Chain A
Amino acid sequence: MKRLPNPRELEAYRAEVSAARPPDRPAIAICNTGCRAYGSLKLFEVFRKAIDTAGLKAKVEVRPTGCHGFCECGPLVVIFPRKIFYQRVKAEDVEEVIEKTVKRGEVIERLCYTDPVTEKRYTYEDDVPFYKHQMRLLLGQNNRLDPTSIDDYIALGGYGALAKALARKPEAVLEEVKKANLRGRGGGGFPAGDKWETCRNAPGDVKYVICNADEGDPGAFMDRAVLEGNPHSVIEGMIIGSYAIGSHEGFVYVRNEYPLAVEQVDIALRQAEALGLLGKDILGSGHDFTVKINRGGGAFVCGESTALMASIEGRVGEPRAKHIHTVVQGLWDRPSNLNNVETWANVPLILGRGAEWFRSIGTEGSKGTKIFSLVGKVINTGLVEAPMGMTLRRIIFDIGGGIRDGRKFKAVQTGGPSGGCLPADRLDIPVDFDELWKHGSMMGSGGMIVMDDRTCMVDVARYFLGFLKFESCGKCTSCREGLRHLHRLVQEICDGQGSEDTIRLIEELSDTVEAASLCALGTTAVNPVRSTLKYFRSEYEAHVRDKKCPAKVCKALITFSIDPEKCTGCMVCAKRCPQECITGEKKKPHVIDQSKCIKCGVCNDVCKFESVTVQ
Chain B
Amino acid sequence: MVLKLQIDGVTVEAEKGESLIDVAWRHGFEIPSLCHHEAVAPYGSCRLCLVEITRKGRKKITTSCNYEVLPDIEVRTSTPEVERHRRMILELLLAEAPASEPLRKLAKRLGVEATRLKPHEGNECIRCGLCVRICNEIVGVNAIGFHGRGDRKETAPPYKEPSELCIGCGACVYACPTNCIRLVEKDGMREIVRWGRKLPIATDENGRPLAPRFQLRYFQELVDLPKDFYKKAPGDRGID
Contact = CB atoms under 8 A, between A and B. Distances in A.
Contacts of B84: 511-512
B88 A475 contact: no
Contact of B95 (A485, A512, A515): A485
Interface string B106-127: 0000000000111000000011
A1 interface: no
Interface string A439-477: 000000000000000000000000000000111111111
Interface string A46-86: 00000000000000000000000000000000000000000
Contact of B47 (A301, A316, A471, A478): A478
B45 A321 contact: no
B150 A485 contact: no
Nearest to B43: A475
B151 A478 contact: no
In the complex, which of the residues B44, B66, B153 has the most CB atoms of chain A within 10 Å of its own CB atom? B44
Interface in A483-500: 483-485, 488
B89 A478 contact: yes
Given A299-B149, A476-B44, A481-B93, A509 B88 contact: yes
B151 A484 contact: yes
In the complex, which of the residues A320, A321, A475, A477 has the most CB atoms of chain B within 10 Å of its own CB atom? A477
Contact of A472 (B67, B117, B149): B149
Bin the interface of chain A by size. 20 to 34
A202 interface: no
Contact of B149 (A301, A477, A478): A301
B63 A481 contact: no
B151 A515 contact: no
A482 B151 contact: no
Interface in B26-69: 43-47, 50, 61-63, 66-68
Nearest to A317: B149
A482 B44 CA distance: 15
A614 interface: no
A320 B68 CA distance: 13
B152 interface: yes
User: By DSSP majority rule, is chain A's interface helix, strand, loop, or mixed?
Assistant: helix
A451 B153 CA distance: 33
B148 interface: yes
Contacts of B126: 477
Given A511-B85, A516-B85, A472 B66 contact: no
B85 A469 contact: no
B183 interface: no
Contacts of A472: 149-151
Interface in B71-95: 81, 84-85, 88-89, 92-93, 95
Given A508-B88, A511-B85, A515-B61, A477 B47 contact: yes
A477 B93 contact: yes
Interface string A497-541: 000000001001101100111100000000000000000000000
A322 B150 CA distance: 20
In the complex, which of the residues B43, B66, B81, B151 has the most CB atoms of chain A within 10 Å of its own CB atom? B151
Contacts of B146: 316, 474
Interface string A130-152: 00000000000000000000000
Contact of B148 (A324, A474, A508): A474
Given A323-B68, A471-B150, A481-B151, A515 B85 contact: yes
B34 to A, nearest CB: 9
A522 to B, nearest CB: 10
A512 B88 contact: yes
A481 B95 contact: yes
Interface residues of B, number: 34
B22 interface: no
A454 B85 CA distance: 36
A474 B150 contact: yes
Contacts of B191: none
A508 B85 CA distance: 9
B201 to A, nearest CB: 34
Contacts, number: 98
Contact of A475 (B45, B50, B67): B45
Contact of B118 (A470, A488, A516): A488
A516 B67 contact: no
In the complex, which of the residues A320, A470, A478, A483 has the most CB atoms of chain B within 10 Å of its own CB atom? A478
Contacts of B152: 474
Interface in A293-349: 299, 301, 316, 320-321, 323-324
Contact of B89 (A321, A475, A512): A512
A590 interface: no
A518 B89 CA distance: 13
B47 A320 contact: no
Contacts of A508: 88
A68 B131 CA distance: 52
A301 B150 CA distance: 10
A505 to B, nearest CB: 6
Contacts of B149: 299, 301, 471-474
B151 A321 contact: no
Contacts of A509: 88
A466 B149 CA distance: 14
A481 B116 contact: no
In the complex, which of the residues A324, A508, A512 has the most CB atoms of chain B within 10 Å of its own CB atom? A512
Contacts of A515: 50, 61, 81, 85
A473 B44 CA distance: 13
A517 B85 CA distance: 11
Nearest to A474: B153
B138 to A, nearest CB: 19
A516 B62 CA distance: 7
A481 B68 contact: no
13 contacts: A301-B149, A321-B66, A323-B62, A323-B67, A323-B68, A324-B68, A475-B43, A480-B150, A485-B117, A485-B118, A488-B118, A511-B85, A516-B47
Interface of B: 43-47, 50, 61-63, 66-68, 81, 84-85, 88-89, 92-93, 95-96, 116-118, 126-127, 129, 146, 148-153
Given A481-B93, A516-B63, 7 more contacts: A323-B62, A473-B149, A474-B152, A476-B44, A478-B89, A483-B150, A518-B63
Task: State the 8 A-B residue pairs at the shortest beta-carbon distance, nearest first.
Answer: A474-B153, A512-B88, A481-B92, A321-B66, A472-B150, A484-B151, A512-B85, A516-B47
